A and B are shown apart, each in its own frame.
Chain A
Amino acid sequence: MGGTLRDAAAVAGVGYTPFSKDSGVSTTTLACEAILAALDDAGLGPEDIDGIATHRVGDSSPPWAVAPALGIEDQGWYLDQFGGGSVSHAVLGQAAMAVAAGVAETVVCYRAINARSEFRMGGQGRPPAGAFDLQYQAPYGLIAPVQHYALLARAHMLAYGTSHEHLGAVAVGQREKAAGNPRALKRDPITMRDYLASRWIAEPFRLLDCCLETDGACALVLTSAERARDLRRPPVNITAAAWGGGHSSYSGAGPGGIGADPTTSAAARLAPRLYAMAGLGPADVDVAELYDCFTWTVLVQLEDYGFCAKGEGGPYAASGALRIGGELPVNTHGGFLSEGYVHGINHVAEAVQQLRGEAGGRQVPGAEVALSTAQPGYVLAGTSALLLTAPR
């Protein structure tokens, strides 16, 4: 398994803009700033790019605007993927495929959003385009992502006894890790009492269950693993990439299967493919950056990526296992809940920094294998994920 994709491409550079509640600039400007920072990290320039890739839901600047803004006349291979968090890692995987196939040598992947000051995901009930389920929900006031995930979290609570404190353990634990991340929007510690006192948004979710609507951008430079060895920074290999897993929202229920059970995500189908491509298993993962639009998605992914048994995500998170120095450090940057929400790519960027050993006060000692994941398949179909490995 794995063909020519396994370890064919590597991340050679990482770049960010500052994260804020109001960038004051366009998403094109954010994209350019993050891309230039990532190229600088790699020791490259815009003239070296022959591929550019992003995803968006009508909320960002596309490759055909960003490449000319950087003076790139021929952007080469490009990808302007429709979709939100569920495809965040698919963009990286497809860029790795383009490199593995020799279609492009150096691809820059980016995500730039003004998710607080311009396009708020749940704002005014703006539906995800193409979400045909919404006609059966919107008239009842079921319109924002936080409500959809709240329903899923409630179903998980009913089925497995997942508690408010289990959700709170994710929020409190990630804030603790964000204290070691200078980029994080929220670094002040919170206690379980603070969590339980925070106001309801959509029960069972409180304010502190929700990610931080963020203005910002992040970019990664991918090139062949071979070329990456000659560049400025130690290369981090994309050892496996996987897509799909199927529709797992409530109405996706077909004749049985995962779609019929809302407490299991698309990641349960995706994980075996991902691990098989890498020749690795959950026990090999040293650090995991798990998509955390809401606290609960961390719990379901702990189960569906095989780190604990089905239904045990809550107790596992509450056990302290997700801390730096714990059995499975998770969302070492603080995640979307505390660092900021760049819709998935900032999880990959954090994984790269962990594997380079440059994460400072939040470094997982000796981290060699990282899992980074996309939104686990709810709202829109399917998910995506990457396994990355440290320079050797």
Chain B
Amino acid sequence: MKTNIPYLYSVKSFWARKATNGLTAAGMALVVYVFATVLMLTEGLERTLVATGSPNNVMVTRRGAETEIQSAVTREQANIIASYSEIARGLDGEALVSKESVVLIALPKRDTGKPSNVTIRGLSPTGFRLRPRVTLAEGRWFRPGTSEIVTGNKIAGGFRGARLGERIRFGLRDWTVVGVFDAGNTGFGSEIWGDAQQLMQAFRRTDYSSLIFKLADPSRFEAVRERIDADRRLPLEVERESVFYAEQSEMMANFLNILGLTLSFIFSIGAVVGAVITMHASVASRTREIGTLRALGFSRVSILAAFLLESLLIGTVGGVVGIVCASIMQFLTLSTMNWQTFAEIAFSFTLTRPIIVKALGFALGMGLVGGFLPSLRAARMDIVDALRAE
């Protein structure tokens, strides 16, 4: 009794029914494509927001506020914290702390003219030094004390008035775009920056929105938190900047995940049905061949394995095609409103190795489930009956 598997038989069988197997694999490829792109989307969003904050920076907001927009930090509170000894100092001895003012302005999109909310951030002169990843791409930085602004690279092309040399009007003033900055793969690329004092005057605000500073010793974070919590004058919340931004992806990521996985599950049933139909027909039309193989001494297990292998091949082809199509999506950037912050955020589809593994596993799983019953049927055939079949 031989139990070796006729591998070549599986491969040749797969090739013999190109059209049908191709269609089945195409159905699976579509499912894998949807599955992979949803994972890529969630991954892209999370990465962008995680990359935005730095773990050595501390973000201070009002207690209970979930976003900088809802937050308010008075000048007095800001000054108390700005004098903390835990704050890192630059080479020039300046404390690396930025008192910032964050608001949303509605800007028309360049292509449709429909307004969307863009984050506009007023920084202290030290604000740039807290975000080393942000570099100037065009023009120059704004001069403190003027109505000059710089726009993030994800905003400049997408919104009217946001390109170098253009103007945006708000707060009874015209603001000139004097530079465009490149924020790499971070959320800052979806922001507009200007001088904090000027923006607060324009918006008639007396309070800052948040305070960001760099820790001289990153391990002192908990100490700073305790110190602020213990101070009755400071009804504020402290979080590492990286954690603060990462939390802002939760709502969207959850929604995308639930929707994507539900869809993938429903679609996969359709694809599995396709695989069952294909494999079932494949077994039915090869009854005699199966009988012959058995008569040659191949065991039931070998037959089962041979047909399962064929089904797994269909799954593999579908999976690879689906992943290849999904990987093309990496060139796309999606710009949408983050429901948590109510502001525009741009992020890319990000393909990672775990996503490839998951998608391939998913495709193989579909092939396995779809091929199992028909393969079982092939293995359980009676030799004599099978040889007699038409």
Q: Are both chains from one complex?
A: no
Binding site for B on A (CB under 8 A): none
